[in-house]
Structure 1
Amino acid sequence: MRAAAGILRLAAWPSSRALRRTRVLYLAALHGTVDIDRDARGIPWIRAGDERDLYVGVGVAMAYDRLWQMDVLRRRATGRLAEVFGARAAGSDVLARTLAFERAARQSEALLSPPARANLAAFAHGVDTAVRRMRRRGQLPPEFHLMRYRPGPWSVSDSLAIVKQLGFHLGRNLQQEMFRSRLLAERPDLVRSFLAPKYPPGGSVTIAADAPAGPAARRGDTALLSAAGAAHLGDLFAGRQGSGSNAWAVSAARSATGFAALANDPHILFTQPSLWYQLGLDLDGERAYGVTVPGVPGLVIGANPDLAWGVTNSTIDTQDLAVGERTDPPGESRWSQTGVVRVRGGNEISVTAAGGTGYVDLPGPRGAEADPVALYWSGLHPSTEAESCQRMWRARDYPAFRETLRGFGVPVLNLVVATRDGTVALRTAGIVPRRDRQEGLAPAGAAEVAARWSTTLGFDELPEVVDPPAGYVVSANHQILPDGVGPHLGSDWGGPYRADRIGELLTATPTAHPDDFGAWQMDLRNGRAQRILPTLLKALDEHPPESPLAVFGHQSLAAWDGRDDADQAAPLVFGALARVLTERWITSRLGAAVADAMTDATLQVDHLVMDGDARRRLGETEDLPVVVADALTEAARRLADRFGDDPTGWRYGRLNRIADQHPLAAVSETLRSLYGSPPTPVGGGGQSVCLMYPDRDGQVVEGAPWRFVVEFGSAGSTRIRDVLRHGSSGNPLSPHYGDQTPAHAEGRLYEVRLDSPPEVRRRLTLAPRTAGRSDRARRRWASPPASMVLTVTRARGVATGGDSNGSSPAR
């Protein structure tokens, strides 16, 4: 690993030389000057007078910050990870080829407007420009040297494929549909207990019951997969799917400032660097700030001086499994394509993908006869969400913003909006099938699924609310419409607990102040405990446990304030108790393989705690007090095995730790020390507004890497506060690789103003190459000897130079 360390040192070397050179990069493709300014956090602010030039600048800046991450995301979407990572990535590549993300991206590219496609091509040109100069100087990100390969040219379809792949993994219904197929095939005796979702009675809904009623409920037909076929699909799509988010907006009338305000903290996997990329844009004075995904130009979430928007996963059902032979409608033809997954150090794998309009065929289990199965999914339809990302940030009022969402396909999102004039709104965007109630719970016959996907909901049929009487809107992955109201959108919603708590905070604060929003994003109240803990404590009071450890657990739960605080023992005890109850009621009956496929186990267990009839139907013979006392005794024993026999030393933060790592951190201790970060003890949990979602070992793998609050004000002022776990750079030697992490852990936010330009710490200027320049001058200016920092701006009298990766001056 000495060689690895040496490569990293070489990657840092040009930054000191960049201080001594002031250069401008001349590009033939530009129409005017582009400035890439870096603020104190290294965040790029791209300023241009021409839209294409702006996106060239975005490509240059993003490549210098996140090139290797962009390449990994591209490879994951197009099925080319195994070329770099070998056999361990082959399964991911086979899935990407089977689902034909790249083909779907090319179809969507054909649907883009000429200006939108030109912007994506300009972005690709900017990326390739940066890559050429980094390669010429041996300054590619060190991961390329360590893995011994070079990045290929960027394309428009690369950006679109990344969107398709991320959109698929934000889907929530497929895994639960596969669980139900296994339940029907392997444990039909438990169908009555576990087939139907268990959304809590009285739980929050996003939009009040003022929409027209939808069609009458009917039970959708189901088609049984064989046990082997269901298990095979479970293996094919193994891994947790679906992320959540919190977003809310308050109207001017409900805000203490007299202006509308918005908060958003989108939940995704904790990675290093983050999957979000902070970006400021300025097109001839039109300024905006927010985040996008590396590889995707524009803004996914953000604000301009007049409008702010956030997003959450809608959790609408947009994935269906169809069983049996299909007959495509007249005029529609099937397609088939064969490709090769190249495996580094291994044998190539041939993959044939096939399908038709809106669906792909799924492979069956080897050596077993099974009916053909197809996946219908919104992302297999051409769509223009990448164009929306270019247009949303330029909208100045809600009607204009709404129009930017036409053509949005995946992921299907709820967008929460606030405007300077005081409007607040929530709008769903994406491709949603028209289905009857109860359809989509489990796989169905090919003809039925094809019929429900033959038409999709029109843009004006999707959920929307503008300026509701309550004066605020909240979206937290909970049920969107009340039962029986409006179109049927699905059944597998996230729990209402976060939405309930946000609504509670807003209701208790008639005129909310945006300064409170950052604290609310860190709120630790466990909504699940708020619902079921009184019942559990009543049971324990009726039948107290006897072991000293369980007695301590009982006492800690009785004294608990319901907050998932890292310094308390009670949330640790509550989580352990819930896991033992899950094993008793679900895992012991379904078996580990089937139980692991259940994505709504939390709500199922909560339902069993609260409903004695449900426990009896399940076959539970013991009274609840006995069950809970036994479960707490076992939970306390497990905690003692893991954290010691002295329960006074038990702390939730010893388990609840963010363990995000760079993909190379597992290669060696040296790389782990460079790329990884030590686990961070945190508060919050799976059912708190401050969401910290654990894996099976209790380590936090998902949460809100980015938090965002926007407050409008008078005289055109827009105050933005945000923080991104880690930072803007993907280079571990950059000062901006982890500079925001302490603030993120502490709940602090940095301020950004749109009514004045950022304080420029570094600047890279791109300028058009004019025909009058001599060849000698062109060579001299087009090939600077140190990084692409070509104009160095002095801030407060201090000259600033290139970043530690020697790629971008302004980082």
Structure 2
Amino acid sequence: MSPREELVRHGLNLAALPSRWAHADHGSLRLAGMLRGAAVRRDGRGVPWVDADNERDLYFAAGFAQAQDRLWQMDVLRRRARGRLSEVFGAATVQEDVRARKLALTRVARRSEELLGAEHRAALAAFSAGVNAAADRMRRRGGLPVEFLLLRYRPARWTPLDSILIVKYLGFDLAVNIKNEVFRSRLAAEHPEYRAAFTEPRYPADGPVTVRSRRPRTRSGAAPVPPPAIGSLPRESRRWLDGLLDGEHPIGSNAWAVSASRTASGHPLLANDPHVPFTQPSLWYQMGLHLTGEDGEGAFGYGVTVPGVAGLIAGANRQLAWGITNSTVDTQDVCVLPPSPAETWQEESTVGVRGGAAVPVRAAGGARYVAMDPPTAGDEERYGLFWSGFEPSTEVACCQLMWRAGGPGEFREVLRGFGVPVLNVVLACQDGTVSVKTAGHVPARVPGSGRAPAEQEQVAASWHGFLDFDDLPEDADPERGYVVSANHKMLPDDDPVDVGADWVAPYRAERIEELITTAPEITPEACGRWQGDLANGRAAKLLPTLLAALADDPPAEPLAAACHRLLADWDGHDHGQLAAPLVFFRLLQKLTDRWVRDRLGPDLAAAMPDVTLQVDHLVTTADARAGLGEPDPLPVVVRRALTEAAAWIADEQGTEPERWRYDLTHRISDRHALAKAVPALGSLFGGVTTPSGGSGHSVCLMTPDRTGTVVEGAPWRFVAELRPDGPRLWDVLRHGSSGHPRSPHYDDQTPLHAAGRLYPVRLEGPRREAARLLTLRPRGGATA
């Protein structure tokens, strides 16, 4: 390190110290806005447990704790939802802001706020007051998070609307069907010769489903319709979506619940590891809540939320534990608007751009849809987006209620308030109940609709109403003794309810079921190990076919022959120290290049959402390859692809296969956003590069980008055993509770996360004698 670099490093570290010093985690503070006071106990990981005897003080203290740990992250999340990133980051984020403004989420957030009961509005107001109290205190001491100093701005006051908006935007992130529709539209226009090959969903006919039994439908539906034949989207409409259509969406989460009949202890178990992009700090935030009752005990809850959201999104209380996965049901439709659509609302706004000219934005739409960008000159078509999230809903209230639910019936009723995101909620209860329930607004879809953009009138037929909560997929206490949700297909083909046709590959779900059904007795420790299971389900499906092809036409080139031997000897587990997982990964990439990228071009190929299932279908189905126009037999294709893959790996790791390792390429390299944008800030924000096993098709989901860098996985892992005397809990969060780079809890949980281990957690939180205790009292004149 040069003297100048050393000087910069010291300067950055000094700049960050005031925000660390301003973080109050012990002692006593007097703050305006409290009724009777609260306490914040922090355990050895810095995780806060909030104690109060009334909801107002409970949520005030929760907001105070979150803001102390994650204020800058909270500000970025709300700016993203409001379309105000460019005020801070300049021209680089203008298009993202324009998209957010056109979604008009502030409009639906205001309507959602009006639906909240008085107690939930009061809770959000108290949470906001707590956030602002923490921000004010840090500002007075010159100790706002260092990101505000580096970017030279101060945060605006937090409002209840900010919390609602964050949830709405997260819901939009998880609603991904628009990718499938727009890809099919582009395929029809740009490469119609490949429509037959790549238009149909390729979920395996024998693949598992989340809810297996056929159920009577209580709502009559319209007759099925054939998929529409719509041409290309105008270039301007495509530009509106560019930031969303980035190819196969690496969505993934695992949750399972096992009944007492299958566990070693005779008590139900739940495991959940919700997957999100790896970031520093994580999107998840661990928190404990304790609302004292008249009996001195009251309600306890522990789990995770998203910074800026009051309550818990997943976790446990004394009676139950619940986990979440993205349901991936179809909640979006793109439509062709008529020349003069009957827009019922419009909004004009301006995106402020730091260092540049402001950008005017017009948002408009009708019932449950928004209009896209106007077409280019001479283009007569306009497009709109239907999305269930444009209907107001009260999921923020659900986050305040789930952790206090007293049993499965009460918990299920709470889920009725969910609109977005549409989730599968997996439940295990002290009384023995295990279940999975879809919660959220799902259009009462015309069967067969939603595959590609269609005329507005045709699309609107699916949007006259939403499925009744009781018609949404549900499986409670099945005879098999377990439920599994891993983003796979929701319902059998013959189910009368249509919730979509596009699903991610079923490999994680298949493996979880295999682990559950072959274990003689299941323990919490086993569930924790399974969250790190490295069996590659895609390899289990494809490797026999690939090896048979290579046996028919073995490669003669030495490196390719060595790769052949590595694959032949491989057990199909993605161990980081092995070379075979890397060979399999690069081989499938080369097959994908030949069948998809080389035919469609890199731009359209990168936008294919279901590329895994499409390529797997080509590997295993001769007719599919013939339909694509593949001139060579599979053995020739695989041999050539393996030869190219071997050369690729040799360029990366040298020409000695015995030295190759998967985890030299397959690594988690998440960094703080500012460190990514300005590498010189790496000395301040740090971040570790973690060699990793697993893959996009193992229970230990570690989804890589094209280079092999892991971009998505499970920052938080959680296991709960529901015992009569109270739950036993374990969890871990990559990085840690704090967003302050100089905090000891900025990255303290990463080693255990990397090792695949979990911390034991007391639902009641750390004992007072073992905790750092901060007491918050109503202010009577003193200054905090």
- TM-score, with normalisation over the residues of structure 2? 0.95
Matched, 1:115 2:134: no
Identical aligned residues as a percent: 53
What letter matches 1:389 in structure 2?
C
Shift of 1:230: 6.4
Match of 1:169 among 167, 173, 188: 173
What letter matches 1:391 in structure 2?
L
**How far apart in 2 are the matches of 1:467 and 1:520?**
22
What letter matches 1:290 in structure 2?
G
Partner of 1:746: 755
Matched, 1:250 2:251: no
Matched, 1:782 2:783: yes
**CA deviations over 1:1-45 (Å, ceiling 9, x no partner):** 8577436425435877999x9853223422212001111100000
Partner of 2:295: none
What letter matches 1:225 in structure 2?
S
* Contact 2:99/2:240 (8 A) holds in 1: no
Shift of 1:503: 0.2
Alignment of 1:608-757 (within 5 A): 608-714=618-724, 716-754=725-763, 757=766
Q: Partner of 1:721: helix, strand, or coil?
A: strand
Matched, 1:282 2:322: no
Partner of 1:9: 14
**How far apart in 2 are the matches of 1:407 and 1:711?**
27
**How far apart in 2 are the matches of 1:364 and 1:17?**
49
**How far apart in 2 are the matches of 1:444 and 1:622?**
37
Structure 1 500/16 Cα, relative in aligned 2: closer, same or farther at 3 Å? closer
Partner of 1:24: 28
Partner of 1:136: 140
* Contact 2:703/2:710 (8 A) holds in 1: yes
**How far apart in 1 are the matches of 2:355 and 2:450?**
42
**How far apart in 2 are the matches of 1:628 and 1:370?**
46
**CA deviations over 1:725-746 (Å, ceiling 9, x no partner):** 0000001100000000000000
Matched, 1:268 2:276: yes
* Contact 1:272/1:676 (8 A) holds in 2: no
Partner of 1:292: 305
Structure 1 679/3 Cα, relative in aligned 2: closer, same or farther at 3 Å? closer
Partner of 2:317: 304
Q: Partner of 1:411: helix, strand, or coil?
A: coil
Q: Which moved more, 1:223-232 or 1:542-551?
A: 223-232
* Contact 2:182/2:233 (8 A) holds in 1: no
**How far apart in 2 are the matches of 1:81 and 1:221?**
37
Alignment of 1:355-754 (within 5 A): 355-367=365-377, 369-714=379-724, 716-754=725-763
Structure 1 279/307 Cα, relative in aligned 2: closer, same or farther at 3 Å? same
What letter matches 1:160 in structure 2?
I
* Contact 1:27/1:767 (8 A) holds in 2: yes
**How far apart in 1 are the matches of 2:90 and 2:33?**
38
**How far apart in 2 are the matches of 1:205 and 1:317?**
16
**How far apart in 2 are the matches of 1:494 and 1:30?**
47
**How far apart in 2 are the matches of 1:30 and 1:112?**
22
Match of 2:232 among 217, 225, 229: 225
Shift of 1:513: 1.3
**How far apart in 1 are the matches of 2:477 and 2:774?**
43
* Contact 1:185/1:227 (8 A) holds in 2: no
Shift of 1:218: 3.7
* Contact 2:254/2:274 (8 A) holds in 1: yes
Shift of 1:673: 2.1
Q: Partner of 1:707: helix, strand, or coil?
A: strand
Alignment of 1:20-59 (within 5 A): 24-59=28-63
**How far apart in 2 are the matches of 1:153 and 1:199?**
47
**How far apart in 2 are the matches of 1:419 and 1:300?**
17
Shift of 1:369: 1.2
**CA deviations over 1:318-356 (Å, ceiling 9, x no partner):** 010011318878xxx611111111111111111111112
How large is the RMSD of aligned CA atoms in angstroms?
2.0
**How far apart in 2 are the matches of 1:607 and 1:672?**
43
**How far apart in 2 are the matches of 1:243 and 1:5?**
39
**How far apart in 1 are the matches of 2:258 and 2:234?**
49
**CA deviations over 1:507-559 (Å, ceiling 9, x no partner):** 10143112100100000000000001100000000110111010011000000
What letter matches 1:156 in structure 2?
P
Shift of 1:189: 2.0
**How far apart in 1 are the matches of 2:739 and 2:344?**
42
**How far apart in 2 are the matches of 1:13 and 1:604?**
53
**CA deviations over 1:694-713 (Å, ceiling 9, x no partner):** 11221101000000000122
Shift of 1:761: 2.6
Q: Partner of 2:256: helix, strand, or coil?
A: strand
* Contact 2:19/2:144 (8 A) holds in 1: no
Structure 1 340/647 Cα, relative in aligned 2: closer, same or farther at 3 Å? same
* Contact 1:717/1:753 (8 A) holds in 2: no
Shift of 1:172: 1.9
Q: Partner of 1:782: helix, strand, or coil?
A: coil
**How far apart in 1 are the matches of 2:23 and 2:74?**
25
Q: Which moved more, 1:567-576 or 1:97-106?
A: 97-106
Shift of 1:103: 1.7
**How far apart in 1 are the matches of 2:779 and 2:51?**
18
**CA deviations over 1:579-623 (Å, ceiling 9, x no partner):** 111111112222222111101111001001111011111111111
What letter matches 2:649 in structure 1?
L
Structure 1 37/439 Cα, relative in aligned 2: closer, same or farther at 3 Å? same
Q: Which moved more, 1:134-143 or 1:221-230?
A: 221-230
Shift of 1:755: 5.4
Partner of 1:259: 267
Partner of 1:347: 357
* Contact 1:341/1:351 (8 A) holds in 2: yes
Structure 1 125/644 Cα, relative in aligned 2: closer, same or farther at 3 Å? same
Partner of 1:799: none
* Contact 2:375/2:381 (8 A) holds in 1: no
Partner of 1:89: 93
* Contact 1:279/1:291 (8 A) holds in 2: yes
Unaligned runs of 5+ in 2: 293-297
What letter matches 2:358 in structure 1?
E
**How far apart in 2 are the matches of 1:149 and 1:13?**
16
Shift of 1:76: 0.7
Aligned residues: 769
**CA deviations over 1:604-662 (Å, ceiling 9, x no partner):** 01001111011111111111111111111111111112221222211110110001110
* Contact 2:347/2:363 (8 A) holds in 1: yes
What letter matches 2:756 in structure 1?
G
- TM-score, with normalisation over the residues of structure 1? 0.92
**How far apart in 2 are the matches of 1:667 and 1:208?**
47
* Contact 2:22/2:143 (8 A) holds in 1: no
* Contact 1:221/1:444 (8 A) holds in 2: yes
Unaligned runs of 5+ in 1: 771-777, 784-811
